[in-house]
């Protein structure tokens, strides 16, 4: 790989990433012929700038948090010729970098990147929005929307989600219809999560055994009756090996599904609120090639 670009969000990680900028560039320049480092906080038109850089790069390195990674994935996923993607984690949770076993120290992650161990990974698509990790509606989206950026940084996303959900004071069940393959699921629910990866808020929360290259989503429907027990398990940070034996929980695997709700529900894609139901969700198998850690 001769053309390497680094998209660095220097505001990630409370601004600490800026201190690593010179050392990251030095490591990369020792191993690649051409390395360009861009501070994304200086882009006037972020989508246009990132798209132009991606189209001219063989390896695109995202140095930042989950929001920056999600932004770049949504820009490069529709391209016919996509660059290889790598992550230097520098945010609060760094969920997908953990999924691909990248070291959480930015300089150690850079050393893993120059080793060029690659893997083709699945991504999800909800209408025109792409996601690497988690798609959700109901309580998880309500909590995500209520969390302020400062609180995410200071408390950690999953812990704050749990606190926010408990402080909502009332569950908001909705009528749910999911069409998957040759069947229709109709339920009253308080949350639906479609998972590609394992991590939420920096811990293996909902799907500890998820495989990002198996061509399948993990789908979890939580009914009103079971929400307290599920959140108590998450709060204790225990891994849930098998949802199928839990009362009030429906779990299955699929590669596509259509979701309708009444009333309409806001959608959380990788921690970003964007769009609302109804929606069609599709898995794109082995869609992006990434540099992985172990």
Mean pLDDT, consecutive 10-residue segments, the chain of 294 residues?
Answer: 92 81 96 95 94 97 92 96 96 86 95 97 95 89 65 53 56 91 93 86 72 93 72 54 71 95 94 91 98 91
**What is the structure's pLDDT at 35?**
97
Provide the angle, in degrees to the nearest 10, between the axes of the packed helices 66-76 and 46-55: 60
3-116: CATH class: alpha beta
Q: Rounded distance, CA 219 to CA 208, Å?
A: 13
**What is the structure's pLDDT at 123?**
97
The DSSP-derived string for 45-89 is: SHHHHHHHHHHT-SEEEEEE-HHHHHHHHHHHTT-SSPPEEEEEE
Q: Domain limits of the chain?
A: 3-116, 130-286
The CATH architecture assigned to 130-286 reads: Sandwich (2.60)
**What is the structure's pLDDT at 2?**
86
**What is the structure's pLDDT at 238?**
47
Q: Rounded distance, CA 230 to CA 206, Å?
A: 10
**What is the structure's pLDDT at 95?**
85
């Amino acid at each position: 790989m001769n053309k390497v670009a680094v998209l660095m969000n220097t505001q990630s990680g409370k601004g600490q990433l800026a201190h690593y900028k010179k050392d990251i560039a030095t490591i990369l320049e020792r191993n690649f012929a051409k390395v360009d480092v861009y501070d994304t906080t200086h882009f006037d038109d972020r989508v246009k700038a990132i798209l132009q850089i991606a189209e001219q790069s063989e390896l695109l390195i995202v140095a930042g948090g989950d929001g920056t990674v999600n932004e770049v994935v949504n820009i490069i996923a529709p391209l016919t010729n996509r660059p290889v993607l790598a992550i230097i984690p520098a945010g609060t949770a760094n969920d997908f970098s953990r999924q691909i076993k990248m070291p959480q120290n930015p300089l150690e992650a850079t050393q893993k990147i120059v080793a060029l161990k690659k893997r083709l990974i699945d991504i999800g698509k909800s209408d025109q929005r792409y996601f690497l990790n988690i798609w959700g509606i109901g309580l998880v989206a309500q909590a995500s929307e209520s969390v302020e950026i400062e609180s995410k940084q200071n408390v950690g996303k999953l812990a704050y989600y749990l606190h926010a959900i408990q402080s909502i004071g009332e569950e908001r069940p909705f009528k749910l219809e999911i069409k998957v393959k040759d069947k229709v699921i109709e339920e009253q629910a308080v949350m639906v999560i479609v998972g590609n990866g394992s991590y939420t808020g920096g811990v293996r929360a909902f799907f500890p055994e998820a495989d990002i290259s198996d061509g399948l989503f993990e789908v979890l429907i939580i009914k009103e009756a079971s929400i307290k027990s599920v959140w108590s398990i998450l709060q204790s940070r225990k891994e849930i090996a098998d949802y199928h034996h839990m009362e009030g929980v429906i779990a299955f695997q699929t590669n596509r599904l259509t979701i309708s709700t009444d009333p309409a529900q806001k959608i959380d894609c990788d921690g970003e609120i964007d769009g609302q139901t109804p929606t069609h969700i599709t898995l794109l198998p082995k869609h992006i090639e990434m540099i992985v850690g172990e």
